[in-house]
Homo-oligomer: A and B are copies of this chain.
């Protein structure tokens, strides 16, 4: 199976759209419906499904329940995914309070921090010392973690996490971390995303003011 980054992301989007369709009472959907919901072409939808070996019914579209089930298995949503968080600062606390992960079968099972004043083993999600991280991760065979520490500490924290056995990381520090061969690091750089919005707003503004948008493509 040859997958590319984008087709996995689209798979998640299809799943989200399907859940909305389901809650609206849909029993079957067509590639066109999904395409509209996600903002891609219907052949993109069918091609993606074809890549993941998902098939529907000629003329009959896809049965929503079956499709959700198939996608959930591909995305590992058939079991609860345990995740650790490193960094109990502003961002870390927001993530800890966030209800959305559990709804999607992902659970932050512990948070780690170096600052002793942040620790709290009694909290619903315990905040432990980073010294305890390796043991915790190894004993529970946890494979996924989130980095929410300052940029200067991010690389060291990534190293510690990989050393402990973590294989995939979602990084919020505004510095592009790269992992080893058999690991995944996904960088969410919020500053950069905002900067990007600002660029296009300025670009669109210039284009419309000068009406020179022939040579402007977004």
Contacts and interface: CB of A to CB of B under 8 A. Distances in A.
Contacts of A216: 1, 3
A94 interface: yes
Query: Could you say which of A95, A191, A196, A197 has the most chain B C-beta atoms within 10 Å of its C-beta?
Result: A197
Contact of A200 (B168, B196, B198): B168
Interface of A: 1-5, 8-9, 11-13, 16, 38-39, 74-77, 81, 83, 90-91, 93-95, 97-98, 100-101, 104, 106, 143-144, 146, 167-170, 174-176, 178, 182-184, 186, 188, 190-205, 208, 215-218
Copies in the complex: 2
Contacts of A38: 176
A144 B170 CA distance: 26
B104 A197 contact: no
Given A83-B194, A90-B94, A184-B218, 18 more contacts: A8-B200, A12-B192, A16-B175, A39-B178, A76-B202, A77-B195, A91-B94, A91-B98, A95-B190, A106-B194, A168-B201, A182-B204, A182-B208, A183-B204, A184-B197, A184-B200, A184-B201, A186-B194
